[in-house]
Amino acid sequence: MYMGMGGRGTPMIPSHMLAVRVECVACHVEPKREKAEAAIVGQTFRPSERACLECHGEQYKGMLDTWTKTIDTMLAAIKEKLVGVEKALAATPASHPQFSRARKLVGDANYNVDFVKLGKGVHNVFFAADLLKVANGYLDQAMVAIGKPPVKSPEETMIRGGYCAVLCHKQAGVIAPEQVKFGTETIPHVRHVTDFGVTCTACHSAEQHQAVTATKSSCLACHHSAGNDNERCLACHKLQNAFFTGAVEVEEVEPVPGSHAELTDCVGCHNVQAKHSRRAVTKQCLACHDDTSYLQALEEWAKGVARGLKEVRGLVRKGEAGLRRAPKNPKAPEARHLLDAAKGDAELVAKAGGVHNPELAKAILAKAKKAAEQAVSMVSR
């Protein structure tokens, strides 16, 4: 376990401490037996958090306990899943064409679970977690092989590769960057985990710390090339969907669903397998509307929203210029509040894509315009 060898379906993943030549006696420092007993049968030393703190400092206090509890939680979840899969396999006739393959997959999963339990996963938490991740995958494959849906685990996200933050980062005070560069793209790093449910090891190596294994191809497996899947759209585009369906909250404006919200969903208008453009979306209109005049509707909606945004932003700039010229104006605080509100409404429409719900966009921008105009009048006197 410490050397990161001997599992099934995983590469060699040595413990990070083995890589810097930390030996067993560096962590096992607590005598298990009294001196008199040890003089007869020999001494055994237990691991102690004291050893962790002596090397890594107080910020690692509780780390060993966290590792132990986390591995135990993952083991319990996998064992529960294993029982469910074994029951399904027992109810499957041995004559099933995929029975032998499913039985081997379950056997390999069982082996990895026993390996982590008997090898004590805390000796190499990332290797242990990866063994359990692979075991989880084997169990899913076994169910698919016998024509049944995978058994879900209560700790599915962590087992699939979300264990880095739980085992280490949180305790060590590591704060993940909100955004990272990947090639020429700026990636919303934290949102991939918190909003999109992507696990750490989907993009990072479990074997080499911080190493990025994501490629353009693996990114495209989720982004706009895996088929028209509305659920996949909603994982990233929650704001756009809320705007489209009238579920977004806006002060002093009663949200209403877009005119098409009850008729279609994201992929009804967006063919994510084609180059994403307004022209591509207009072509989708003809799938439902045989009147070519509908091809102009989207363009008119977009132009209307763009005009409204331009007008509000222009008023906001004018108001901010007035504030800079007269910072001691007694109306300045109220004007600033109105300008901030107008700016926030305009940004909401821009980010949500006002064309998803033109009537709602129009109402929000009308409110923003009124606020901005009021602010401008206050600082222009």
**Residue 355 per-residue DSSP state:** G
Residue 181 φ/ψ, nearest 5 degrees: -90, 135
Q: Look at 31 and 169; give whichever has higher pLDDT.
A: 31
What is the arithmetic mean of pLDDT over 200-213? 75
Q: Per-residue pLDDT for 83 more than 60?
A: yes
pLDDT at 112: 96
Q: Look at 55 and 164; give whichever has higher pLDDT.
A: 55
Q: pLDDT tens for residues 260-291?
A: 877 777 877 777 666 666 666 777 777 777 66
Q: pLDDT tens for residues 25-77?
A: 889 988 988 989 989 999 999 888 888 888 888 878 888 888 888 899 989 99
Residue 354 tokens, joined:
């006002």
pLDDT at 325: 87
Q: What is the mean pLDDT of the chain?
A: 84
Q: pLDDT tens for residues 236-260?
A: 788 888 898 888 888 899 888 888 8
**Alpha helix (H) residue ranges in the chain:** 16-19, 24-27, 35-41, 49-56, 63-90, 99-119, 125-145, 156-159, 163-164, 170-172, 189-194, 216-220, 230-236, 238-245, 266-269, 278-285, 294-325, 332-352, 358-379
Q: Look at 29 and 155; give whichever has higher pLDDT.
A: 29
Half-sphere exposure of 237 (CA within 13 A, CB side): 21
Q: What is the pTM of this model?
A: 0.54
Residue 225 φ/ψ, nearest 5 degrees: -145, 5
Domains annotated on the chain, with CATH: 16-170 (1.20.140), 176-220 (no CATH), 266-379 (1.20.140.10)
CA 18 to the chain's CA centroid = 31
**Distance of alpha carbon 372 from alpha carbon 311, whole angstroms:** 10
pLDDT band at 194 (very low <50, low <70, confident <90, very high): low
